[in-house]
Structure 1
Amino acid sequence: MFQQNLVLRLALAIILFMHSIPGMFNGGINDFGNLYLNQIGFDPFGVYLAWAIKLSHVAAAILFIANKYIKWAAWPTLFILVVGIFMVHLEHGWFVVGGGQNGVEFNFLLIAVISHLLIEDKRSKLS
């Protein structure tokens, strides 16, 4: 059972870790909270919200690696990714690099991978 979707789960976990852990040590999370979230109306909670987002990514990564509580890891992460599309990426178009910058394509791919893991998790519990 642990082997199910192992490559996808590990790749997803690495991405979630790499989008979270460096910012914990280089000020990136605080900057995201102060310089973006607070500026768009989340003041004075922007930094707390930024930390909650990134800590949820770390927790989700651990759960995806362990192949446990996939639903609990997936739904908050999906919510964050979809909200991120509308709040940050959509105005930049589709492409992350090449034909554009900071677009939705990366979030779209992560949403597809997480959705696949949700479907497979449910399917494995039904059989």
Structure 2
Amino acid sequence: MNSTLLLRLSVAVILLTHSIFGIFDNGINDFGNLFLNQIGFAPFGVILAWSIKLSHIVAAILLILNKYIKLAGFITIFVLIMGIILVHFKEGWFVVGGGRNGMEYNVLLIIVLLAIMYPEGFAKKNHNLNDV
């Protein structure tokens, strides 16, 4: 079994549920109109919101299929970092408990995505003639 299988499936479920519910409860349009447009992305807030959610769906599918993992990870990490910058940082660290709507969840997802993208870690492997 692939060492990242459970992480990939878990993150895929999170990305899918976070996106799919927004499609059916008008959450994506509300996010675009009531938040993104209000903080300076008008008139592109709704298009940007849909782009974000569709990128989550595509990333989830790629994670499930174990294809283009680094591409899916980098795009999703970019979205999560922008979420930290635009939304969560000003709310502090905690999502619940010690605060509300903070950045801890995004940070955790970023770390998990990095673990999926680099299951062997970041260390550069040294190859010498004895390894051949």
Q: Tell me if TM exceeds 0.5.
A: yes
List per-residue Cα deviations over 1:60-92 (Å, max 9, x = no partner): 000001111001101110000011101000111
Where does residue 23 of structure 1 map in the other structure?
22
Q: Does 1:33 align with 2:25?
A: no
- Report what 2:86 is aligned to: 87
The 1:121/1:68 distance shift into structure 2, 3 A limit, reads farther
CA RMSD of superposed structures (Å): 1.6
Q: Which amino acid letter does the alignment assign opposite residue 24 of structure 1?
A: I
Q: Structure 2 unaligned segments of length 5 or more: list them.
A: 126-132
Identity of paired residues, percent? 59
> Is 2:64 the partner of 1:65?
yes
Residue by residue over 1:74-120, the C-alpha shift from the partner in whole angstroms, topping out at 9 and shown as x without a partner, is 11100000111010001111100000000010001000000111112
Q: Of the two, which has the highest radius of gyration?
A: 2
CA distance in 1, matches of 2:105, 2:37: 24
Structure 1 stretches of at least 4 aligned residues deviating more than 4 Å after TM superposition: none
Cα distance, 1:72–1:122 mapped onto 2, change above 3 Å: farther
Q: Gaps (5+ residues) in structure 1? A: none
Taking structure 1 as the reference length, the TM-score comes to 0.92
* Contact 1:70–1:121 under 8 Å retained in 2: no
**3-state DSSP of counterpart to 2:119:** helix
